[in-house]
Amino acid sequence: MAEALDVDGLTPEQVLMRDNIRRYLRQQVTPLIQAAEADRQFPYQALDGLADFGYLGGCLPESAGGLGLDFPTWAVMMEEVGYCWLSLRVMVNTLNIIAGLVNAYGSEEQKERFMRPLLANRRRAFVSISEPDVGSNVAEIKTRADKRGDRYVLNGSKLWITGGMFADFGIVVARTFSETCDGGLSLFLVEKAHTPFDCRPVETMFVRSTGTAAFGFENAEIPAANLLGCEGEGLKQILIGLNFGRLNVAMGAVGAAQCALDLSTQYALDRRQFGRPIGAFQLVQKHIVDMTMKTQAARVLGYRAARAMQTGQPARLETSVAKLYATEAAHEVANLALQVHGGMGYATEYPIERIFRDTRGGMIPEGTTEIQTLIIGREILGLSALT
């Protein structure tokens, strides 16, 4: 007999896992959010408990220290951390992208030195791609890595680095020049303790606890052994991880939208004006209905993308559609949630103000709304507007 699924197509095991994660996040992480946001810090200790659910490399095979989770299960997990706190979703996303890259392209020594401590929450990491003049078009990166003997010398600037203020190592994408590479992009594992470079905080309006930073490299030396994979393969390596990142962003946005919807539904029942709950008014009900439709539609698209990835398809269309729709829908839901809450919505001691800010940020990383639109158009028509 076929396994019974819930209305969203989840198995009983996935539902149980979701409920356990939700309970843990509510009890152990939610109480930390307000202080962490105020101090612009991230409570890394919260990742210890999340590791038991598979948030630290759970999609990796068991032989690599993961749990071999499938993408639909991972999608459920990313919705839950998005529901709790989008700064948490962003940090989990970064950690897992790095773990995936090191597992796919790293040597055994690199895996032992970087990936395994990362999965055990003993190291903190960043991914450094964007630059002051380079965002969506990764191929235009200007930071250089010049091979000199047994070392590479880095020169250039990086911007919008998630976790950059907190991390002790990370991946830097740089244009490489050596006897065997003439300007191709490569990935390098860079440790702060061994490669001094300028690091300064970048204050942002959203995901304020993610330690966003700007880096400056001036003749910064790294061992040649810290090259991740092969010279000149960096663009391909980074692009392979984008679908995973877009799924993470999409499902985190779904979670944030669901949180805003739940808070608004309860508020509409509890808040009374003119002698009755504000939920009794037609316009408030219209807001709640619109929020529900957008959230449910975004979830369906997210699960569709996860299933496409699970089959081994490129899934560029599915993940881009999910990311584009879910991030825009989440901010629209957050905007309506603020309207339902009235003045309480923009009070900083309540979650709606934070959700409103954080969901606006989701339209930019892992490819802006405009870039996602062009990718989708290319996948549908076979014609690129990007070249």
Question: For 346-383, what is the HEC assignment?
Answer: HCCCCHHHHHHHHHHHCCCCCCCHHHHHHHHHHHHHCC
Fold of domain 12-119: Butyryl-Coa Dehydrogenase, subunit A; domain 1 (1.10.540)
Q: Confidence class of residue 242 from pLDDT cuts 50, 70 and 90?
A: confident
Residue 55 makes CB contacts below 8 A (sequence gap 6+) with 47, 77, 81, 92, 96
Count CB neighbours of 108 within 10 A. 7
The answer, yes or no, to whether residue 114 has pLDDT greater than 90, is yes
Which value, to the nearest 10 degrees, does the dihedral of the CA atoms of residues 222, 223, 226, 227 take?
90
Q: Map residue 64 onto helix, strand or coil.
A: helix
Q: Are the beta carbons of 54 and 109 closer than 8 angstroms?
A: no
The answer, yes or no, to whether residue 368 has pLDDT greater than 80, is yes
SS (H, E, C) 95-137: HHHHHHHHHHHCCHHHHHHHHHHHHCCCCCEEEECCECCECCC
Q: What is the chain's length?
A: 387
Q: Which pLDDT score is estimated for 230? A: 96
**Terminal Cα distance for the chain, rounded:** 51
Q: Are the beta carbons of 58 and 50 closer than 8 angstroms?
A: no
What number is the average pLDDT over the span 302-315? Answer: 94
Fold of domain 236-381: Butyryl-CoA Dehydrogenase, subunit A; domain 3 (1.20.140)
The answer, yes or no, to whether residue 318 has pLDDT greater than 80, is yes
Measuring CA to CA, how many Å separate 349 from each of 33, 35, 37, 354? Answer: 11, 11, 11, 9
- What are the residue ranges spanned by the domains of the chain? 12-119, 125-231, 236-381
Q: Confidence class of residue 1 from pLDDT cuts 50, 70 and 90?
A: very low
The per-residue pLDDT of the chain, averaged, comes to 94
The answer, yes or no, to whether residue 306 has pLDDT greater than 80, is yes
Q: Which pLDDT score is estimated for 248? A: 96
Task: Please tell me which residue, 365 or 73, carries the higher pLDDT value.
Answer: 73
What number is the average pLDDT over the span 73-79? Answer: 98
What number is the average pLDDT over the span 14-33? Answer: 96
- Say which of 13, 366, 370, 379 is annotated catalytic: 366
Cα 3 from Cα 10, distance rounded (Å)? 10
Homologous superfamily of the 125-231 domain (CATH): Butyryl-CoA Dehydrogenase, subunit A, domain 2 (2.40.110.10)
Q: Map residue 255 onto helix, strand or coil.
A: helix
The answer, yes or no, to whether residue 307 has pLDDT greater than 50, is yes
pLDDT digits (tens, 9 = 90+) for 45-55: 999 999 999 99
The answer, yes or no, to whether residue 2 has pLDDT greater than 60, is no
Q: Confidence class of residue 3 from pLDDT cuts 50, 70 and 90?
A: low
φ and ψ at 349, to 5 degrees? -80, -5
pLDDT digits (tens, 9 = 90+) for 139-190: 899 999 999 999 999 999 999 999 999 999 999 999 999 999 999 999 999 9
Q: Confidence class of residue 135 from pLDDT cuts 50, 70 and 90?
A: confident
Q: Which pLDDT score is estimated for 4? A: 62
Task: Please tell me which residue, 8 or 231, carries the higher pLDDT value.
Answer: 231
Percent pLDDT > 70 in the chain is 98
The answer, yes or no, to whether residue 8 has pLDDT greater than 90, is no
Cα 143 from Cα 254, distance rounded (Å)? 35
Two domains, one topology: 12-119 and 236-381 = no
Tokens linked to 130: 């964007």
Q: Are the beta carbons of 119 and 95 closer than 8 angstroms?
A: no
What number is the average pLDDT over the span 284-290? Answer: 98
Supply the DSSP string of 4-56, one letter for each residue: P--TTS--HHHHHHHHHHHHHIIIIIHHHHHHHHHHT---TTHHHHHHTTTTT
The answer, yes or no, to whether residue 17 has pLDDT greater than 60, is yes
φ and ψ at 23, to 5 degrees? -65, -45
Residue 366 falls in the annotated catalytic set: yes
Closest CA to 358 of 87, 32, 95, 160: 87
What number is the average pLDDT over the span 113-133? Answer: 96
Measuring CA to CA, how many Å separate 203 from each of 40, 166, 208, 228, 377? Answer: 9, 14, 7, 30, 34
Supply the DSSP string of 179-237, one letter for each residue: TTEEEEEEEEEEETTTS--EEEE---SS-TTS--EEEEEEEEEEEGGGEESSTT-HHHH
Q: Confidence class of residue 387 from pLDDT cuts 50, 70 and 90?
A: low
* Residue type for position 174: A
